């Protein structure tokens, strides 16, 4: 390589926007010069597009709409008014909490009780109103948090108006706007390409076609696609709901309630409860109103008292509240949950796939060393690097470090004739320059193992640098033209460029947390495998010393999954391969989370069970991810896992309480119908029991800290506990009731019988609560004790005795009720431990 004064473009400096403001004559002259020096694009090089002119100039070829034209279009309603929401609307929240089948049923029963019975038998209605209000308030708080975070993380496209580029909200784009595009940008409306600078667009999320499409001026572009390489601008031709992917985009950005095992399980439970309720309630109504010859109002009250506790009305409420509180807590940590079940989903993840750059390392890099090769002159190498940096108006992190270290020389007569932007699939970038004598020189910058000719030994020292976790790029002179598919063949190495990546200070602790929690971490990077392993080793990742070059992985999903399960660090992973690796892990039954920030992560993020994007990442990654870390802190993930585990563990606990009540209520109704006796309880009795043994404790338990590992099969796990507990509670209560019926007689006998049965049911239910509250802490013990004390107060205070119609008569039956409850508690304890031993881990 001969030494030259320097190589640089003769167009405006892309890093200096002001330099583009030439006079009209200068612009026309520059345009003519560019046209004369252009190189034709090879039509067969679809995956290696080359821009034949200096990139900066075409970016200002169109000035966009004027302010007046924008105002006219706004007045005509030609605005991109698709509502992009991170949460449900206020109306949807109110409807979801109020208009439920159980609220309708309870509302009818409440109206009946207000007509035929004292107000204390209608307390259950006021409790439902309060619960519904709490649910609405908590979801509105979560909505406020989500909407505020969505504004922070909102995609703001760059629109050119009056010749000036500025970021605007997506909803402010009007028909005819000129929208600029760069690597990682998401296409937000349909349009037509106006400017193209080696523009490659991935439309796989819309069409399923994996290969990126090279776009030229005049080509259509669809909303929902994203840029993988190059840049340019397009004119908006369809906005708002007319855009191709408007509905898909709106749904993808919306706060959703799908794909949740908790919600699906609760829906299944409620379906079965409804089926059980209908025949049981019908039999109870007939038994109490037709067969028994008793007071009509008292029969109606006892009938309603038998129906209401069958409904687990607070279970859905507490699930919504638990999720909403989780959203609010994570929002305080700058974590945007774009889909509510993502909190639950991440807690169930057992494999997390990490992209190195931007996740384990910070986005920026520094050039630490340049090593000339084959006798190349160092100053000439610096000049070439400066020219390469100036050739790309949207440099990636590696090229930006070179731009910072080697500004473009200003005194070179060499002219840029073609530019090739970096892409993850190609793993190199390049540019061609025409020098003084008319000779065209092509330079490539990329991965050494990609640019070196086959069989040629790599330059000395690369292996050692990779082992230190440094990124190494090779500057090489190409033998052929830049637009050739074989541009990387026959290159002549000129220099090694050594880059140092900045490790995230919190990455090591986060990886350690996942290891302790039994979550396998897999690093999937496009960088050299040895270098990636060195970075992972510095962070303490288990298995970092056995790295795998992904180019050697088998294509068979089963064989690939075996390799993935036995190794932790993979280098030279292509974007499409990341998606295949996620699918291979899922085929083995793993629940997979994928983190990333670049366009090469989009496909894997979309296919993973949970996608986590960095707030500073590309628009495309943020659009497809369920969780966005707005503070770019990898250390936030343990908080998300902890919230998910809290929700899953606590809802499992409280669901057991609610369904135990449903089971014993249904069984008591069946026993009453079969025995042809009065139903033992009025609504006021069961309202008191539900409040003290379920309602108040469940609210505290649902929001308490919980670090239990998430386990599958929610419905099966809950019913294994709730069904035997409900059977024991119903049997013990009915035994006490029958014993009391044979013991008491005369006026007030029914009240005494009810009081004895209530005492047994309360004590058995309290034991269920005591088991659910384990492991004990001071506040859990205090909670159980407080509920017991409240019941004692009701039995001891005369006006409360009258209000709840509870009066223990004599000593024989009350103590008999206590003895029966103690026997039931012993059975509960034995049965609970037996189920625990048989419960799968």
- CATH number of the domain encompassing residue 751: 1.20.1110.10
Q: Does 355 participate in catalysis according to the annotation?
A: yes
Residue 841 confidence (pLDDT) above 70: no
pLDDT band at 781 (very low <50, low <70, confident <90, very high): very high
Last residue of a domain, one of 502, 519, 540: 502
Last residue of a domain, one of 583, 614, 632: 632
Q: Which 3-state string (H, E, C) describes 522-541? A: EEECCCCHHHHHHHHHHCCC
CA distances (Å), 4 to each of 232, 281, 409, 535, in order?
32, 94, 11, 37
The distance of Cα 713 from the centroid of its chain, to the nearest Å, equals 21
pLDDT for 54 equals 39
Q: Domain total for the chain?
A: 3
Residue 118 lies in a domain: no
Phi and psi at residue 413, in whole multiples of 5°? -90, -5
Question: What is the per-residue burial (b if ≥16 Cβ within 10 Å, else e) of 303-321?
Answer: bbbbbbbbbbbbbbbbbbb
Residue 257 confidence (pLDDT) above 50: no
pLDDT tens, residue by residue, 282-291: 777 777 666 5
Residue 204 lies in a domain: no
Q: Are 444 and 309 part of one and the same domain?
A: no
Which tokens go with 384? 């070439």
Most distant CA atoms of the chain, gap in Å:
122
Residue 692 lies in a domain: yes
Question: Per the residue annotation, which of 121, 177, 355, 607 is the catalytic one?
Answer: 355
Mean pLDDT of 618-623: 74
Q: Are 605 and 657 part of one and the same domain?
A: no
Residue 217 lies in a domain: no
Mean pLDDT of 748-768: 89
Q: Which 3-state string (H, E, C) describes 717-748? A: HHHHHHHHHHHHHHHHHHHHHHHHHHHCCCCC
Burial of 260 (C-beta count, 10 Å sphere; 0-12/13-18/19+): buried
Residue 699 lies in a domain: yes
Helix axes 101-116, 123-152, angle to 10 degrees: 150
Q: Are 496 and 606 part of one and the same domain?
A: no
Residue 4 confidence (pLDDT) above 70: no
Residue 818 lies in a domain: yes
pLDDT for 125 equals 76
Average pLDDT, the chain: 78
What is residue 308's three-state secondary structure?
helix
Instruction: Give the pairing of strands 569-571 and 520-524.
Output: parallel
Cα(818)–Cα(811) distance, rounded to whole angstroms? 11
pLDDT band at 293 (very low <50, low <70, confident <90, very high): low
Q: Are 674 and 779 part of one and the same domain?
A: yes
Cα(223)–Cα(155) distance, rounded to whole angstroms? 13
pLDDT tens, residue by residue, 297-344: 767 777 777 777 777 777 777 777 787 788 888 888 888 887 667 778
Q: Are 752 and 664 part of one and the same domain?
A: yes
The whole model's pTM is what? 0.68
- What is the residue whose two structure tokens read 């009938």? 303
Q: Are 707 and 755 part of one and the same domain?
A: yes
Which tokens go with 507? 């990455």
pLDDT for 295 equals 63
Instruction: Give the pairing of strands 471-477 and 440-446.
Output: antiparallel
Q: Which of 47-61, 103-117, 775-789 has the lowest mean pLDDT?
A: 47-61
pLDDT for 764 equals 95
pLDDT band at 19 (very low <50, low <70, confident <90, very high): very low
Q: Are 580 and 667 part of one and the same domain?
A: no
pLDDT for 734 equals 92
pLDDT for 827 equals 93
Residue 448 confidence (pLDDT) above 70: yes
User: Measured at the alpha carbon of residue 204, what is the angle toward residues 200 and 205, in degrees to the nearest 5?
Assistant: 120
Q: Which of 44-48, 113-117, 673-677 has the lowest mean pLDDT?
A: 44-48
Phi and psi at residue 270, in whole multiples of 5°? -65, -35
* Closest alpha carbon to 814 in 738, 758, 768, 766: 758
Q: Are 526 and 497 part of one and the same domain?
A: no
Range of the domain at 659: 260-314+641-838
Q: Are 679 and 808 part of one and the same domain?
A: yes
Most confident of 104-108, 454-458, 560-564, 647-651: 560-564
Last residue of a domain, one of 437, 471, 502: 502
Q: Are 439 and 492 part of one and the same domain?
A: yes
Q: Domain containing 589 — which CATH number?
A: 3.40.50.1000
Higher pLDDT, residue 120 or 353: 353
* Closest alpha carbon to 477 in 552, 384, 386, 344: 384
Residue 37 confidence (pLDDT) above 50: no
pLDDT band at 818 (very low <50, low <70, confident <90, very high): very high
- Would you tell me how many other CB atoms lie within 10 Å of the CB of residue 247? 11
pLDDT tens, residue by residue, 558-604: 889 999 999 999 988 887 888 899 999 999 989 899 988 777 787 88
User: Measured at the alpha carbon of residue 827, what is the angle toward residues 826 and 828, in degrees to the nearest 5?
Assistant: 90
Residue 5 lies in a domain: no
The distance of Cα 182 from the centroid of its chain, to the nearest Å, equals 25
Decide: 65 and 178 in contact? Cβ < 8 Å.
yes
Q: Domain containing 443 — which CATH number?
A: 3.40.1110.10
pLDDT for 240 equals 76
Mean pLDDT of 517-524: 89
Mean pLDDT of 249-271: 60
Residue 717 confidence (pLDDT) above 50: yes
pLDDT for 623 equals 75
Residue 502 confidence (pLDDT) above 50: yes
Mean pLDDT of 540-545: 86
Q: Are 471 and 545 part of one and the same domain?
A: no
pLDDT for 3 equals 37
Residue 463 lies in a domain: yes
pLDDT for 211 equals 66
Q: Are 696 and 808 part of one and the same domain?
A: yes
pLDDT for 435 equals 76
pLDDT for 783 equals 93
Mean pLDDT of 358-376: 81
């Amino acid at each position: 390589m001969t030494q030259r004064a320097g190589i640089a473009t003769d167009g405006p400096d892309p890093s200096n926007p002001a330099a583009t403001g030439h006079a009209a004559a200068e612009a026309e002259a520059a345009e003519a010069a560019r046209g004369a020096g252009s190189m034709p694009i090879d039509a067969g090089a679809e995956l290696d597009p080359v821009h034949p002119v200096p990139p900066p100039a075409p970016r200002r070829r169109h000035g966009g709409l004027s302010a007046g034209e924008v105002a006219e279009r706004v007045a005509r309603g030609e605005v991109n008014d698709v509502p992009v929401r991170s949460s449900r609307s206020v109306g949807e929240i109110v409807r979801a909490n109020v208009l439920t089948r159980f609220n309708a049923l309870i509302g009818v029963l409440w109206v009946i009780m207000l007509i035929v019975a004292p107000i204390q038998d209608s307390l259950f209605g006021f409790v439902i109103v309060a619960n519904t209000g709490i649910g609405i308030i908590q979801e509105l708080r979560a909505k406020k948090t989500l909407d505020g975070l969505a504004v922070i993380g909102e995609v703001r496209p760059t629109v050119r108006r009056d010749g000036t580029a500025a970021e605007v909200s997506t909803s402010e784009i009007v028909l005819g706007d000129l929208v600029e595009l760069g690597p990682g940008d998401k296409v937000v409306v349909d349009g037509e390409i106006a400017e193209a600078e080696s523009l490659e667009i991935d439309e796989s999320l819309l069409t399923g076609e994996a290969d990126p499409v090279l776009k030229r001026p005049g080509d259509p572009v669809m909303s929902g696609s994203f840029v993988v390489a190059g840049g340019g601008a397009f004119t908006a031709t369809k906005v708002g709901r007319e855009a191709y992917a408007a509905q898909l985009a709106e749904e993808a950005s919306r706060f959703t309630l799908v794909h949740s095992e908790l919600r699906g399980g609760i829906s299944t439970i409620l379906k079965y409860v409804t089926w059980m309720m209908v025949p049981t309630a019908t039999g109870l109504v007939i038994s109490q109103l037709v067969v028994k010859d008793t007071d009509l109002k008292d029969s109606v009250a006892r009938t309603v008292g038998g129906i209401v506790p069958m409904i687990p009305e607070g279970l859905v409420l507490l699930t919504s509240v638990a999720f909403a509180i989780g959203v609010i807590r994570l929002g305080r940590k700058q974590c945007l949950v774009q889909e509510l079940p993502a909190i639950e989903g991440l807690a169930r993840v057992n494999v997390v796939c990490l992209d190195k750059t931007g996740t384990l390392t910070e986005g920026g890099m520094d050039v630490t060393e340049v090593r000339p090769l084959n006798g190349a002159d160092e100053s000439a190498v610096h000049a070439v690097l400066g020219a390469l940096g100036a050739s790309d108006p949207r440099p990636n992190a590696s090229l930006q470090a070179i731009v910072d270290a080697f500004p473009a020389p200003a005194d070179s007569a060499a002219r840029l004739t073609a530019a090739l932007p970096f892409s993850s699939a190609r793993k190199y970038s390049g540019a061609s320059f025409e020098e003084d004598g008319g000779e065209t020189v092509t330079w490539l910058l990329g991965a050494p193992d990609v640019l070196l000719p086959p069989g040629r030994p790599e330059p000395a020292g690369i292996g050692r640098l990779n082992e230190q976790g440094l990124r190494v790029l090779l500057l090489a002179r190409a033998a052929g033209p830049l637009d050739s598919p074989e541009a990387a063949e026959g290159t002549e190495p000129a220099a090694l460029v050594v880059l140092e990546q900045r490790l995230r200070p919190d990455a090591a602790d986060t990886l350690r947390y996942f290891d302790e929690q039994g979550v396998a971490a897999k690093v999937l990077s496009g960088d050299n495998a040895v270098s990636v392993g060195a970075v992972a080793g510095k962070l303490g990742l288990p298995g970092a010393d056995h790295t795998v070059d992904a180019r050697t992985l088998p294509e068979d999903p089963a064989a690939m999954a075996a390799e993935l399960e036995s190794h932790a660090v993979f280098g030279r992973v292509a974007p499409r391969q990341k998606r295949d690796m996620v699918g291979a892990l899922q085929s083995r039954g793993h629940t997979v989370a994928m983190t990333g920030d670049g366009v090469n992560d989009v496909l894997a993020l979309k296919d993973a069970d949970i996608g986590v994007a960095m707030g500073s990442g590309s628009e495309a990654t943020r659009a497809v991810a369920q969780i966005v870390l707005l503070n770019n802190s990898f250390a936030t993930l343990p908080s998300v896992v902890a919230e998910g585990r809290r929700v899953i563990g606590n809802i499992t606990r409280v669901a057991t309480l609610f369904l135990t009540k449903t089971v014993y209520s249904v069984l008591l109704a069946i026993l009453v119908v079969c025995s042809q006796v009065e139903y033992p309880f009025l609504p006021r009795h069961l309202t008191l029991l539900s409040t003290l043994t379920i309602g108040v404790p469940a609210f505290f338990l649902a929001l308490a800290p919980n670090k239990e590992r998430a386990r599958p099969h929610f419905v099966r796990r809950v019913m294994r506990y709730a069904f035997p507990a409900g059977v024991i509670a119903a049997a013990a209560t009915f035994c006490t009731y029958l014993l009391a019926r044979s013991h008491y007689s005369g006026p007030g006998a029914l009240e005494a019988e009810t009081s004895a049965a209530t005492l047994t049911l309360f004590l058995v239910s309290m034991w269920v609560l005591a088991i659910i509250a384990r492991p004990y802490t001071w506040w859990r013990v205090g909670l159980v004790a407080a509920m017991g004390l409240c019941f004692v107060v009701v039995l001891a205070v005369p006006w409360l005795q009258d209000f709840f119609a509870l009066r223990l008569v004599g000593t024989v039956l009350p103590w008999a009720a206590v003895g029966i409850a103690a026997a039931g508690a012993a059975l509960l304890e034995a049965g609970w431990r037996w189920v625990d031993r048989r419960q799968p881990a």
